[in-house]
């Protein structure tokens, strides 16, 4: 599964941080992103993650 990026839509900031923390502790590369909704007045927030690329 290396190189496969996954994306989870999460609205609450505390929940995004909790998920990111769990994933980081388990060796994943994590990024929190946002994208504009169609209305252009609000955003959808995501936690993107993939297996970290390391030498071991």
| Residue 56: per-residue pLDDT | 43
List beta partners, residue 29: 50
The structure's pTM equals 0.80
Domain assignment present for 56: no
What is the total count of domains within the chain?
Answer: 1
Walk along the chain (56 residues) and give the pLDDT tens digit of each residue. 456 899 999 999 999 999 999 999 999 999 999 999 988 889 999 999 999 776 44
| Residue 24: per-residue pLDDT | 95
At residue 25, φ and ψ (nearest 5 deg) are -65, -20
Domain assignment present for 1: no
| Residue 1: per-residue pLDDT | 44
Domain assignment present for 27: yes
Domain ranges, residue 12: 6-51
């Amino acid at each position: 599964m290396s190189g496969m990026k996954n994306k989870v839509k999460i609205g609450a900031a505390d929940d995004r941080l909790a998920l990111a923390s769990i994933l980081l502790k388990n060796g994943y590369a994590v990024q929190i992103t946002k994208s504009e909704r169609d209305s252009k007045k609000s955003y959808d927030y995501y936690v993107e993650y993939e297996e970290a690329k390391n030498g071991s």
